[in-house]
Chains A and B, each alone.
Chain A
Amino acid sequence: DGGITQSPKYLFRKEGQNVTLSCEQNLNHDAMYWYRQDPGQGLRLIYYSQIVNDFQKGDIAEGYSVSREKKESFPLTVTSAQKNPTAFYLCASSPPPGTSGSYEQYFGPGTRLTVT
Chain B
Amino acid sequence: AQTVTQSQPEMSVQEAETVTLSCTYDTSESNYYLFWYKQPPSRQMILVIRQEAYKQQNATENRFSVNFQKAAKSFSLKISDSQLGDTAMYFCAFTTAYSGAGSYQLTFGKGTKLSVIP
Query: Which residues of A come within 8 Å of B, CB atoms?
Result: 30-31, 33, 40-45, 48, 50-51, 58, 88, 90, 92, 94, 96-98, 102-107, 109-110
Contacts and interface: CB of A to CB of B under 8 A. Distances in A.
Contacts of A30: 102-103
B18 to A, nearest CB: 25
A31 B103 contact: yes
A48 B95 CA distance: 14
Contacts of B14: none
**In the A-B complex, the 3 residue pairs with the closest CB atoms:** A50-B102, A31-B103, A107-B45
B17 to A, nearest CB: 26
A66 to B, nearest CB: 14
A13 B88 CA distance: 29
A40 B9 contact: yes
A90 B99 contact: no
Contacts of B97: 103
